[in-house]
Chain A
């Protein structure tokens, strides 16, 4: 093929993908490799960072060869990555000191409880815009320093380096120890207003400054790649959800996207200043283009959406493939009065109830597997509604339409239900792979492949749109039922 292209590497939770995009932002070719999930103990989730790096070395050349594209045609590389997953490696050998601790890992729960009681906790939370939680990187890094023999000394001497997955890949690709503002904003160590590591936060978590990468803009040249695609500029890195915000071209305050994967993440562009949430949302950096001020976002994380469908498939065996959930749900007219609240490991935004557990309520002998399938899909719709309500309340901006992406957007029944319960149009863009596209856009923008944000906007096209089409009274009654179902999940796990 002729022409020039941008390569994006999406280092995700279960796999690493390389996608080549053309100047119109269209997918040209793709390759993907899964990596192993290690579960050494209950609640522990680890990745082998070396395996992930080797996968990057494989998928990039394969994606190029599938598209018949030569390395000389690549103008830039962008990285989007699973966020918060923490790895520490030896600066001299490049070998990780331990498996990476995954974002889902809850081994730090006791540590986090202890930290929450430590003086200064509230100030740390305010400074970084995040609540103390096992989810974020700083407790994971602290755990590694505490539990890996000799690591703290090596860290203080500057012999080991910390990074989230983008840092690990940037280091392997370019030899530089760097991160970007979006990933740094998920560590709990960065001051949201100055966009730099804060010494008091480092003290609070007991983290030596020597291990930290330098914080850069999301779109800007990080360095020149020495391997895989030698000579190509690495020109972007963003956390995956922020990359999706960028790929959906949500460049104006008030624009929001929701990515529907195993969990779902809604991000709302709040513009040049951080908005502090009163309703259980996270304050985060949306993106920063080099030479421009950072753009902030509010984030609503929903733990279980697509994974509820997976549970229906793998745990219950009622369907054999995820898309069949729609086929089954369409065998009935409505949910038959049945609701499923998938608080499998507590509830995330806006509730943040770790002691909650899932319920199926409204069961009668009338209920069939079709009704259950409906309730499975509706759970994703209502959980989104709760996050939207919180965002509207926090930001004072009323959501006017929702841009959606991710695997579940191929489910028409769900997308129509979303429009019905949110009472706004739901819009799917022409490129479903917005995470990868966002990284490509940011990289292409940084090297001048695309001129400006308006140029990117012109690439965005509506592929499908679902309009609200229900009686407001129905919406109100059903939402009320959902909220009563949610209340029934609370206080299930009792304190010891």
Chain B
């Protein structure tokens, strides 16, 4: 059996401490109660604050349980919050790649489009925020499935085109490849002539909270060998990392 991780045990003790009594404690009180050096207690409290489990009162400087802890049972990150936090990075991705950008999360085994930036050519395009996409046939969906801890059931693997990954085995292989590469693509798997590239958006601790990707005509997204262009993959992964950084995640 692996050994106990001391700082996690201490973090749990701090949360229990804050959950009891008046609910607000200063750093010194916390350190004293747990017989910890002030610096050690501070490090743990700051980390708990970063992930939202602890909040610091602005005027008194005391600590209390954070809102994120109270909402543990519900959705991890509000989709409208995700859009608001990623909007500054989705725009440059569209501008640099020249393609439309979408951000998606999983909702009932479908990809819910939570943000959409038009392809920057000023042609008539329709906003499809709120639309649902099939996860097995889209790059966004593959990324979300690849990092979905509750995964297993892929839903309906409908064949949209000849190239759709319509068997659990083919999809499982693609998801493994996605985890290894850190990004996914779809090449004419949902619509003939269309391709997409996507990468994971990570929150605190590396938890995948969404996926960001581009999509466009296959001849623009892919190179002469039919593979996603390296430059575009880099743009997508950089945007994913930038959003992740804003959300407090590492964005691998």
Interface residues of chain A, those whose CB is within 8 Å of chain B, are 24, 26-27, 30, 320-327, 407, 409-412, 430-433, 461-466
Determine, out of B29-37, B79-87, B142-150, the stretch whose residues face the partner at the interface. Answer: B79-87
User: Which residues of chain B come closer than 8 Å to A409, judged between CB atoms?
Assistant: 87
Q: A323-B83, A410-B80 are in contact. Are A461 and B88 (CB under 8 A)?
A: no
Q: A461-B120, A464-B127, A466-B127 are in contact. Are A411 and B91 (CB under 8 A)?
A: no
Query: Could you tell me if A430 and B94 are in contact, using CB atoms closer than 8 angstroms?
Result: yes
Query: Could you tell me if A463 and B91 are in contact, using CB atoms closer than 8 angstroms?
Result: yes
Q: How far is the CB of A420 from chain B (nearest CB, A)?
A: 14
User: Which residues of chain A come closer than 8 Å to B80, judged between CB atoms?
Assistant: 323-327, 410-412
Q: A412-B129, A463-B118, A465-B127 are in contact. Are A323 and B84 (CB under 8 A)?
A: yes
Query: Could you tell me if A433 and B117 are in contact, using CB atoms closer than 8 angstroms?
Result: no
Query: Could you tell me if A410 and B83 are in contact, using CB atoms closer than 8 angstroms?
Result: yes
User: Which residues of chain A come closer than 8 Å to B84, judged between CB atoms?
Assistant: 322-323, 407, 410-411
Complex: A323 Cα to B83 Cα, angstroms = 8
Query: Could you tell me if B83 and A464 are in contact, using CB atoms closer than 8 angstroms?
Result: no
Q: How far is the CB of B51 from chain A (nearest CB, A)?
A: 15
Complex: A463 Cα to B87 Cα, angstroms = 10
Select one of A322, A432, A465, A466 contacting B91, CB under 8 A. Answer: A432
Select one of A27, A322, A411 contacting B88, CB under 8 A. Answer: A27
User: Which residues of chain A come closer than 8 Å to B95, judged between CB atoms?
Assistant: 24, 26, 430-431, 461
Query: Could you tell me if B120 and A430 are in contact, using CB atoms closer than 8 angstroms?
Result: yes
User: Which residues of chain A come closer than 8 Å to B71, judged between CB atoms?
Assistant: 320
Complex: A462 Cα to B80 Cα, angstroms = 21
Q: How far is the CB of A454 from chain B (nearest CB, A)?
A: 15
Closest partner residue, chain A, to B66 (CB atom): A320
Complex: A450 Cα to B111 Cα, angstroms = 41
Query: Could you tell me if A462 and B78 are in contact, using CB atoms closer than 8 angstroms?
Result: no
B110 within 8 A of A: no
4 more A-B residue pairs beyond the given contacts A321-B81, A325-B80, A430-B120, with a C-beta to C-beta distance below 8 A: A26-B96, A323-B81, A327-B78, A431-B91
Closest partner residue, chain B, to A408 (CB atom): B84
B180 within 8 A of A: no
B61 within 8 A of A: no
Complex: A321 Cα to B81 Cα, angstroms = 8
B116 within 8 A of A: yes
User: Which residues of chain A come closer than 8 Å to B83, judged between CB atoms?
Assistant: 323, 410, 412
Query: Could you tell me if B87 and A432 are in contact, using CB atoms closer than 8 angstroms?
Result: yes
Q: How far is the CB of A13 from chain B (nearest CB, A)?
A: 18
B92 within 8 A of A: yes
B108 within 8 A of A: no
Q: A323-B80, A464-B118, A465-B118 are in contact. Are A410 and B91 (CB under 8 A)?
A: no
Query: Could you tell me if B81 and A462 are in contact, using CB atoms closer than 8 angstroms?
Result: no
Complex: A431 Cα to B94 Cα, angstroms = 10
Complex: A168 Cα to B146 Cα, angstroms = 53
User: Which residues of chain A come closer than 8 Å to B96, judged between CB atoms?
Assistant: 26
Q: List 7 A-B contacts (CB under 8 A).
A: A321-B81, A410-B83, A412-B127, A431-B91, A463-B117, A464-B117, A464-B118
Query: Could you tell me if A430 and B78 are in contact, using CB atoms closer than 8 angstroms?
Result: no
User: Which residues of chain A come closer than 8 Å to B87, judged between CB atoms?
Assistant: 409-410, 432
Closest partner residue, chain B, to A19 (CB atom): B88
Q: A26-B92, A432-B88 are in contact. Are A327 and B79 (CB under 8 A)?
A: yes
User: Which residues of chain A come closer than 8 Å to B91, judged between CB atoms?
Assistant: 26-27, 430-432, 463
Q: How far is the CB of A24 from chain B (nearest CB, A)?
A: 6
Interface residues of chain B, those whose CB is within 8 Å of chain A, are 67, 71, 78-81, 83-84, 87-88, 91-92, 94-96, 116-118, 120-122, 125, 127, 129-130
Query: Could you tell me if B118 and A324 are in contact, using CB atoms closer than 8 angstroms?
Result: no
Complex: A30 Cα to B89 Cα, angstroms = 11
Complex: A97 Cα to B175 Cα, angstroms = 64
Closest partner residue, chain B, to A460 (CB atom): B122
Rank and list the top 5 A-B pairs by shortest CB-CB distance, nearest first.
A461-B120, A323-B80, A323-B84, A410-B84, A323-B81
Query: Could you tell me if B122 and A461 are in contact, using CB atoms closer than 8 angstroms?
Result: yes
User: Which residues of chain B come closer than 8 Å to A411, judged between CB atoms?
Assistant: 80, 84
Complex: A86 Cα to B58 Cα, angstroms = 28
User: Which residues of chain B come closer than 8 Å to A27, judged between CB atoms?
Assistant: 88, 91-92
Q: How far is the CB of B164 from chain A (nearest CB, A)?
A: 29
Q: How far is the CB of B66 from chain A (nearest CB, A)?
A: 10
User: Which residues of chain B come closer than 8 Å to A326, judged between CB atoms?
Assistant: 80
Residue of A431, A433, A461, A465 ringed by the most chain B CB atoms within 10 A: A461
Residue of B78, B116, B129 ringed by the most chain A CB atoms within 10 A: B78
Query: Could you tell me if A321 and B122 are in contact, using CB atoms closer than 8 angstroms?
Result: no
User: Which residues of chain B come closer than 8 Å to A462, judged between CB atoms?
Assistant: 118, 120, 122, 125
Q: A430-B117, A432-B87, A432-B88 are in contact. Are A463 and B78 (CB under 8 A)?
A: no
Complex: A431 Cα to B117 Cα, angstroms = 11
Complex: A323 Cα to B247 Cα, angstroms = 14
Residue of B91, B92, B117, B125 ringed by the most chain A CB atoms within 10 A: B91
Complex: A428 Cα to B87 Cα, angstroms = 11
User: Which residues of chain B come closer than 8 Å to A430, judged between CB atoms?
Assistant: 91, 94-95, 117, 120
Complex: A422 Cα to B9 Cα, angstroms = 56
Q: How far is the CB of A54 from chain B (nearest CB, A)?
A: 21
Query: Could you tell me if A324 and B88 are in contact, using CB atoms closer than 8 angstroms?
Result: no
Complex: A411 Cα to B87 Cα, angstroms = 11
Complex: A465 Cα to B121 Cα, angstroms = 13
Q: How far is the CB of B83 from chain A (nearest CB, A)?
A: 5
User: Which residues of chain A come closer than 8 Å to B116, judged between CB atoms?
Assistant: 464
Complex: A461 Cα to B129 Cα, angstroms = 19
Complex: A464 Cα to B115 Cα, angstroms = 10
Residue of B80, B117, B127 ringed by the most chain A CB atoms within 10 A: B80
Q: How far is the CB of B126 from chain A (nearest CB, A)?
A: 8
User: Which residues of chain B come closer than 8 Å to A26, judged between CB atoms?
Assistant: 91-92, 95-96
Complex: A326 Cα to B130 Cα, angstroms = 13
User: Which residues of chain B come closer than 8 Å to A320, judged between CB atoms?
Assistant: 67, 71
User: Which residues of chain B come closer than 8 Å to A407, judged between CB atoms?
Assistant: 84
Q: How far is the CB of B104 from chain A (nearest CB, A)?
A: 15
Complex: A48 Cα to B94 Cα, angstroms = 39
User: Which residues of chain B come closer than 8 Å to A466, judged between CB atoms?
Assistant: 127
Q: How far is the CB of A269 from chain B (nearest CB, A)?
A: 20
Q: How far is the CB of B29 from chain A (nearest CB, A)?
A: 26
User: Which residues of chain A come closer than 8 Å to B127, judged between CB atoms?
Assistant: 412, 464-466
Complex: A437 Cα to B134 Cα, angstroms = 37
Q: How far is the CB of A63 from chain B (nearest CB, A)?
A: 13
Q: How far is the CB of A405 from chain B (nearest CB, A)?
A: 11
Q: How far is the CB of A25 from chain B (nearest CB, A)?
A: 8
Complex: A324 Cα to B87 Cα, angstroms = 15
Q: How far is the CB of A78 from chain B (nearest CB, A)?
A: 19
Complex: A164 Cα to B69 Cα, angstroms = 44
Complex: A407 Cα to B81 Cα, angstroms = 11
Complex: A327 Cα to B105 Cα, angstroms = 15
